[in-house]
Amino acid sequence: MNLWQLLLYQPLVNALFALYHWLGNLGWAIIVLTLIIRFLLLPLTWPALKASQKMRDLAPKLKKLRKKYAKNKEKLAAAQMELYRQAGIKPWASLVPQVVQVIILIALYQVFRHVLGGNGNLEKLNQLLYPALPFSIQSPINLRFWYLDLSQPDLFRWQGRLVFPGLFLTLSALSQFLSARLMLPAAQQQKQLAQKTPATSDDLIAAMQTQSLYLFPLMTILVGLSFPSGLVLYWLAFSLFNLGQQIIIKSKFGRK
């Protein structure tokens, strides 16, 4: 067994099936495991979110600095770093929690795909269970959650044809839209600043922020049309938790 399986994959498989054994439903097990992971990551993600909110609130002061040092990039960079220091912000500090989140998300994705692959994986899954656990994975795994078959895409069909995305897939896209919408005022302000500075990178960043309002929800729908609905359920729980974090951060630490 390699290090990836030992430190991430195997613990997540055991946690998922411990919840499945306790709750009796794989759908709820996926939701609860996703929320547990998000709560465990709060010590890493919460400071990064606060720093992100502070950086958005510093936009007026950044605007003044960009006007003052429009022709001197070195002085502009130094002035920006000094402004961040005074505000208690470490711009690069948020990279570590982001990397950790991505690693765990990849591991969760692999676990859910393996589990949702059906009952043909039972022997391999049982080999991953810790000996101390008082249960084994029995056939068949219950893949039903409300109207969903967790191994199949979340789609509404009529006479065998796709009509529109299912409820959970639609809610996942909607939560992505709302998260991006919360960022829109900052993105619009960033776009106005970018138009007044000579750096083309500013224009690119501002455009990407604005386009994310529609791009991420659209990507969620397109990818979700082919993914098992168990992964959509996981993404919905993840997105709603993220949205709640953004709302709390904005209301508690946002500039009045």
Radius of gyration of the chain (CA): 22
Of the pLDDT bands very low, low, confident and very high (cuts 50, 70, 90), residue 28 is very high
Find out whether 51 and 93 touch, Cβ atoms under 8 Å: yes
In sequence order, the β-bridge partners of residue 155 are: 165
For range 116-132, the mean pLDDT: 75
d(CA 46, CA 172): 22
Q: How many CB atoms lie within 10 A of CB 130?
A: 10
Residue 206: is its pLDDT beyond 80? no
Report the SS3 class of residue 40: helix
Higher pLDDT, 17 or 44: 17
Using a cut of 0.85, tell me whether the model's pTM lies above it.
no
For 58-166, where are the alpha helices, taking DSSP H only? 59-68, 73-86, 95-115, 122-128
- pLDDT at position 187, please? 46
Higher pLDDT, 201 or 222: 222
- pLDDT at position 205, please? 47
Q: How far is CA 150 from CA 25, 58, 154, 208, in A?
A: 11, 44, 8, 33
- pLDDT at position 200, please? 47
Q: Where are the domains of the chain?
A: 3-253
- pLDDT at position 163, please? 66
In sequence order, the β-bridge partners of residue 145 are: 148
Report the SS3 class of residue 115: helix
